[in-house]
Structure formats: C-alpha cells, structure tokens
Amino acid sequence: MTSKLEWLLVAESLFAGAYIALTRGLFLIFLVAVGQDVKGISFVILLSSLLSAIIGLMLYKQPNFLVRKVKQKLCITHFLERVTWFFIPLTSNLLIVSLLYSLCIIFSSFISTFLTFTIYGLLPEESIKKVTSRRTAAGNISSIIGFALGTFLLAFLQTNGKFIYIFYLGALIGILSTISVLFIDLSRLEGAKIPAGVKEPEKIFSTSMFFVIFLFAGNLLAIVWTPFLIVKLNSPEYLVALLNLAGTVSSIAASLFWGKRSLKMLRTGFVLNILSPILILTISIPLYHVGISIYNSFAFTAANFLGFFLFAKYNEWFGAVKSSTLIIVIGNIAQFMAAVFGMIIGANYLVSFLLIIVLYMCS
C-alpha cells in the first residue's frame, strides 16, 4: 500500500517536472540565444557546480546540519530556488547570469540532498526503488507538458523578452511543487543517527567512480549538444526544445521499462549509451536529432537507474544522511569536470564527442 509520504514525494516531482522543463530545461537555449558559445556555457556550469560541490562537501563533513530543522530548511530553499528564476532572464551579462544560476543550483543542491535524505531516511529499501520509479515517471509526464509549452512559446513568441515569460511561468508552477513539500511530515528525520564509521569503503569508491565518469560524459554531452545544433547545424531554438520534449516522452517509457528490470539488464542498457554521441556527430540534419534524443533518453535512463539503485546500498553502508549528501557531491563534481573540459575544448565538437564516447566506454 502506498503511504501518504510516497504520494507527496510523487506530487512534488510531478509539479517540479514542468518547472524544471520551463527553466533549467531551456536554460542552455537561453544562453545560446544571448550569444554564449560552448566556453560561455561551460563557464556558467563550472561556477555553479564548483560552488555546489563545495557546499556538498561541507554538508558531508558536517552532516548534523541536515538533521536539524529539516522541514524548515527544505521549504525555504525549495521556495528560494523558484524565486531566483524571476531574475535570471532580466540580464544577458555572463557574470551576473552565472552568479544567479549558481545561487539557483546551490538551492537545488540543498533540495536534492533533503529529498534524497527523506527517501533514504524514511522509506524501507524495497520502497526506494518504487518511489524513485514513480517520481521519475511523474516528473517526466509533467515535463512533457512543460517542454511542449516551452517549444510552442519559443516558436511563436517573437519578442526579445520571450524567456521572461517562459521562466516566470516555470517559476510559478514550481511554487506549486513547494506547496506539496509543506505537507510532508519530516519530524522523524530530526536528530537522525549518523554512523561514526564507513562500512565497506571499497564498494563505495567503486560505485562512486562509476557514477562520476558516467555523469561526466552525460553532462559534457548536454553542454555540447545544444550549441552544436544551433550554431553548427543552424537549428531553430524551438527544435532544440522539441528534442527535450521527445527525450522526456522516451524517459517515461524508459523509467517504466527499466524500473522493473534486473541489474544485469540495466548494465545492458548502459552499454547502449555509447551509440548516442556517434549518432549526434555523424547525422547533420537537425530534425533527425529528435530521434537521437528519444534513443539517448531511453539508454540514459537505464544507466541512471543502475547508478541510483546501487546508491540505495549506501544506506546500509554508512547511513541515510551521508549517502544523500554524497550523491549531490558526485553529481556536482561530474558537472564541474564536464565544464572544465568544455572550456578547454571549446567548439571543437569532434574532440568533445570522441571524449564522450571514451568516457562511456571507461565507465
């Protein structure tokens, strides 16, 4: 039987899906629209991921912060992240945009940490996989609506301030997600026990390395693909948003498909990711990239599930508090690495895609 907590977690993801689609989901398009190339995009991602990684490491070293006034901290950061998007489209200055986006990602890191802590700390292991699958599916359903609306607005809004309307709409929808959080009872997380030692550190290291390399490749692909389409292949902005929409539709089917599969099958799905950068690099017709996005999302979801289900074991190895912070730190480290290489490689798309292929093979 599904508990009230599980339904509220799914509801949070449902509203968050459209919010993320209309804000972070279109953010790279916004950066290209205001004149940024691969290096400019990488700079924004580098700054935000570096600051978030530092905060994540601080939380990992001082996890007691996470077990005091949990609900207040979650609700405040949840709300402030949404509010930040009211300011981002008001400027095209790279430094200001970078700082605002960094602030947004810092809030997002707190949110992800608290939500992961909630899932790992309040649910039994057999429910973690179920809730993760349902949250993914719910978020993707909502994202379809968000990306469809974003694609429509990008195609038909001719004004220079179109991203103001889009980001404002997304932020308002995101606040509905915050309202869902208000009803979650987190009292059992107050003063949660933090294990003194780490169990099975060699397993933690191997799992972490797998996920860092995998996310490094995925983040680099995200950084490069948008400018490659718009700048190199002269794709219209709305078509790039359509790729996100198609990928989200694929992710819904993928989350339902892969969520019921064994770890052996998930490993098979992970191998399929290698083909995505090859297809992107070799197919020069932008419209065909919609199909690539469908394939990429389907394969990427398998690898994502593999990583997070492995992370579920962290709960027994060294507790819910540190496991929730470690996931966020690893994600930010991978983003930071992708941003560094994005700045170094720049618009040399051949080198970028070849590196992504190698990373997928290594992970």
CATH value at residue 272: 1.20.1250.20
Cβ burial of 191 (10 Å; 0-12, 13-18, 19+) is exposed
The overall average pLDDT reported for the chain is 86
- Of 209, 58, 312, give the one whose Cα is nearest residue 66: 58
The answer to the question of residue 295 being in a domain is yes
- Nearest by Cα to 251 from 339, 168, 144: 144
In this structure, is residue 195 part of a structural domain? no
Nearest by Cα to 176 from 14, 298, 306: 14
Tell how many helices (H) and how many strands (E) occur in the chain. Answer: 15, 0
Residue 15 has pLDDT above 70, yes or no: yes
What is the mean predicted confidence (pLDDT) over 51-64?
82
In a domain, 184, yes or no: yes
Give the other-Cβ count within 10 Å of 296's Cβ.
Answer: 26
pLDDT of the residue at 317: 62
Tokens 């819904």 -> residue = 252
Higher-confidence residue of 15 and 161: namely 15
pLDDT confidence band for 313 (50 / 70 / 90): low
Q: pLDDT: is 95 or 315 the higher one?
A: 95
Average pLDDT over residues 23-47: 93
What band does 192 get if pLDDT is binned at 50, 70 and 90? low
- Cα separation, 359 vs 363, whole angstroms: 6
State the greatest distance between any 2 C-alpha atoms of the chain, in Å, as a whole number: 58
Residue 41 belongs to a domain: yes
What's residue 60's pLDDT?
77
Q: What is the mean pLDDT of residues 210-218?
A: 86
Whether the pLDDT of residue 314 is over 80: the answer is no
- Residue where the block lists tokens 């919609």: 290
What sign has the CA pseudo-torsion 354, 356, 349, 301?
positive
Q: Which of 125, 179, 170 is nearest to 149 (CA)?
A: 170
Asked if residue 194 belongs to a domain, the reply is no
* Percent of the residues in the chain that have a pLDDT greater than 70, as a whole number: 89
Total structural domains in the chain?
A: 1
Q: What is the pLDDT of residues 144-159, one digit of tens each?
A: 999 999 999 999 887 7
Q: Which residue has the higher pLDDT, 213 or 66?
A: 213
Residue 260 has pLDDT above 80, yes or no: no
Report residue 1's pLDDT band, with 50, 70 and 90 as the boundaries: very low
> What DSSP string describes 165-195?
HHHHHHHHHHHHHHHHHHT---GGGTT----
Instruction: Tell me the HSE value of 46 on the side-chain side, using a 13 A CA sphere.
Output: 16
pLDDT at position 157 is 87
Domain that holds residue 139: 4-189+200-362
Cα angle 156-161-165, degrees, rounded to a multiple of 5: 70
Please tell me the predicted confidence (pLDDT) of residue 98. Answer: 94
